[in-house]
Structure 1
Amino acid sequence: MTSDRGLLGFAKLKVAAAVVGVLAASLVGAVAFGAIGAPSVEGVDNGFGEVTEETTVINTNLTIYNPNPVGVQLGGTTINYTVRMNDVPMAEGGGQGLSITTGNSTEAFTTKMDNGQIPPWWASHINNGEQTTVTINATVETSVLGERQFDLTQERNVKTNIIGEFNSDKTRPVNAENTPPTASNPILYINRTRADWGQATNTETPIGMQFQVYNPQLEPYVITELGYEITMNDLNVGEGTTDNSYVIPGGDTKTLQAQAIIRNQKLDEWWVSHLRNDQVTNLKIEFYARVELPTGNTIRVPLDRLTYEETIETDIFGNKNASGGGSGQATPTPSGEATPTPTTTPTPTDGGIIDTPTPTPGDDSTPTPTDDLI
């Protein structure tokens, strides 16, 4: 009796295995002939999470559409996704195993971005005309349903205009306290300013600057040093002085050349402040000059009228203002354009040894001709 039951059970197992085999073959065949649809990636949504000095968490929601009337447990499935900014790899992540219900399913992942990738990305952004293409690619591979692979690539453009507003033809007087008896304020006029980016590297970002300076005095001045300090969200990212001195004859103009340097090794720290400030950065460049007077005395003059301030705002993944605070809850757009709106704050504050300038009667410009920039 026991033997008969064992044989009967074994026969039932064989029948069941045969049925499973037939069903699996039918399923694969149905897929092959289009009777059953293959799942597809509908969207990849990324958002920034916690940020520390070393890493930035990226939260990812992967939306998969299953057109079939039943759900599938895809244990043999792997997911890989990458985030690149101007081809610089910023984050890579993924996982194994998916539980796909009928219709849309959302799988959540997190990965950590190395903040050490910020300097090479920044260099690519500057060298690309202050433009970044954010590319998000998600690929799902599964051994179920006939070794299928499906993927989605999204692109988003991010633009900034960090130093564009530095280019100005506005005349700005420079006043100093304790002027010698042979001089009077303003001791100088800045008639024109220009700036452009040099070739950025992973270690530094140069900014070429020009200042057209007019000496309204009878005696010549010697500018022995032009110094600068660059801060981003109050973090010092660069400071230095020019190597050249300039003699400006009385009643004449000279164009001063200077090169400011952003130290890119500071940019991973800046990145933390940028994200914690809701992707907003306050850039400030401050200047001073050392002027040798005809008496032989040298004075340090803060050039507060040249202080340059700019607000830099980005929306890397395009969902910063969506519900959830950009943490991966917004509906993604496969391609789009970021609309960061740089804002210039042209009104500087006077301080130090600078007096409040007295506007030239009838006009704010220098009454003498100005030369073209060299």
Structure 2
Amino acid sequence: MIFAGGAGYMAMNFEKPSFGIVDMGDWENISDDSIKVVSEAWIHNPNSLGLSVGFIDVGYEAEINDISLAEGKVDEVSIESGNNTKTLETELRQGRIPDWWVSHLENGENSTVSVPVEINTPVTSFSVEAFSKEISTNISSRIENSLESIEGSYTGPGIETTRSGLSVEIRPEIEVRDFKASWGDISEQESEVLMDMKVHNPNSYPIPTPSFGGRADLNNVTVANWTANSEPLTELAEEGMIAPGETEELRFRVGLKNQRMDDWLETHVRNREYTEAEIDAQLIFNVEGEEFKAPAGGMECIIQIQTDILVDDKQHSVENKGCEPKNEAYPETENEESTGTDSGNRTEQDLVDEGLLG
């Protein structure tokens, strides 16, 4: 009876403790199979008496965009009257990283980190939002700002062909204009990047629409390796061909493999939330059965990504390194002189100048 009376008195006079996160903490014990989050929490007990072992349990989660990425529980917490600090340790659910990635892109590259906490005592139970933080990235614009370096004029290799029964050498030229990048369809398996550009044909003959090949690595984790066919955004005079003097707007769909994102995140947090994305890309034309790549050796891009999910003291200065062609041009070819009626390896323009071609 004395115990019951004491409990009843305490229930009538009990004030709820308050709870919060001093610091979301840091990434710890990072391995291929496990990533831990260690955080520091505060608990304020407004009651004049301490709450002894067995009196209070604390359950908590770490959520990003309402996706639970970690959860933990501290049973039988003992807290003194006044302010207390406790260390919370949780293990990241790496299998949920692709789900978060999809939600992050669907929200316009924005995420909300939150830590809901539930406190249970024999007297009462209540929930609090102990921590909330907004994080944003601008990956699509970084891709666009870097890969727009592919804009420019390119001259292909010398290609032997025939014109009006005469053997000629042509060197096709193309111009790339107005490169744009944006997110396309986002699914559980794949995040689509739409890469749009205009391709101008300054030649006197039609050229086929190109494919677009490349590879994307995040901290040496390959998330895309593609060859994408073009989709015309303007009506072509001839299907699959860009007419002489015409400019066509083309779209290429590049898919990033979402299931590789948990492998990437391990490297990202190991580098204190820093990533160097390496992208190799080039347009691939097939002219008269010969391959013409623009740029000839491909375009190599470095994109730096820094986040602050847990890391506050950013140690890297993020800048747009842009892209550089690995090989700026195909080697020049020397025209061979010929005798008789055979035109030899003269260029198409040579034959026009000599009146052999109109």
TM-score (normalised: structure 2): 0.76
Which residue matches 1:38? 16
Superimposed CA distance per residue, residues 186-243 of structure 1 (whole angstroms, 9 cap, x where no aligned partner): x222111112212212211111111211123333322453212122112211112124
- Corresponding pairs, count: 313
For residue 116 of structure 1, give the secondary structure of its aligned residue in structure 2: helix
Matching residue's letter, 2:176 = I
Which residue matches 1:220? 206
CA contact (8 A) 2:275 2:305 kept: yes
Task: Sort the Cα spacing of 1:238 and 1:112 in 2 relative to 1 into closer, same or farther, 3 A.
Answer: same
Which residue matches 2:137? 160
For residue 274 of structure 1, give the secondary structure of its aligned residue in structure 2: helix
Which residue matches 2:350? none
Unaligned residue ranges in structure 2 (runs of 5+): 161-167, 231-238, 333-358
Higher relative CO (CA 8 A, sep ≥ 6), structure 1 or 2?
Answer: 1
Matching residue's letter, 1:76 = F
For residue 216 of structure 1, give the secondary structure of its aligned residue in structure 2: coil
Superimposed CA distance per residue, residues 320-339 of structure 1 (whole angstroms, 9 cap, x where no aligned partner): 329xx9xxxxxxxxxxxxxx
Which residue matches 1:139? 118
Task: Sort the Cα spacing of 1:175 and 1:27 in 2 relative to 1 into closer, same or farther, 3 A.
Answer: same
Task: Sort the Cα spacing of 1:304 and 1:79 in 2 relative to 1 into closer, same or farther, 3 A.
Answer: farther
CA distance in 2, matches of 1:268, 1:275: 11
CA distance in 2, matches of 1:219, 1:121: 49
Superimposed CA distance per residue, residues 261-308 of structure 1 (whole angstroms, 9 cap, x where no aligned partner): 001111111111111111112223322233233x54333444667554
The 5 A counterparts of 1:338-349 are 343-349=319-325
User: 1:52: how far off?
Assistant: 2.2
Query: How well do the aligned residues superpose, as a CA RMSD in angstroms?
Result: 3.1
Task: Sort the Cα spacing of 1:58 and 1:69 in 2 relative to 1 into closer, same or farther, 3 A.
Answer: same
CA distance in 2, matches of 1:215, 1:194: 19
Task: Sort the Cα spacing of 1:133 and 1:174 in 2 relative to 1 into closer, same or farther, 3 A.
Answer: same
User: Whose strand fraction is larger, Structure 1's or Structure 2's?
Assistant: 2
Moved more, 303-312 or 88-97: 303-312
User: 1:84: how far off?
Assistant: 1.2
For residue 92 of structure 2, give the secondary structure of its aligned residue in structure 1: strand
User: 1:81: how far off?
Assistant: 0.5
CA distance in 1, matches of 2:248, 2:94: 43
CA contact (8 A) 2:296 2:328 kept: no
Matching residue's letter, 1:279 = E
The 5 A counterparts of 1:115-264 are 115-143=94-122, 146-149=123-126, 151-167=128-144, 171-178=151-158, 182-184=169-171, 187-244=173-230, 246-264=240-258
CA contact (8 A) 1:309 1:345 kept: yes
Matching residue's letter, 2:132 = E
CA distance in 1, matches of 2:191, 2:180: 17
Superimposed CA distance per residue, residues 102-136 of structure 1 (whole angstroms, 9 cap, x where no aligned partner): 32111212121221111111111111111111121
CA distance in 1, matches of 2:298, 2:171: 18
Unaligned residue ranges in structure 1 (runs of 5+): 1-16, 32-36, 326-339, 357-374
Task: Sort the Cα spacing of 1:150 and 1:265 in 2 relative to 1 into closer, same or farther, 3 A.
Answer: closer
TM-score (normalised: structure 1): 0.73
User: 1:49: how far off?
Assistant: 1.5
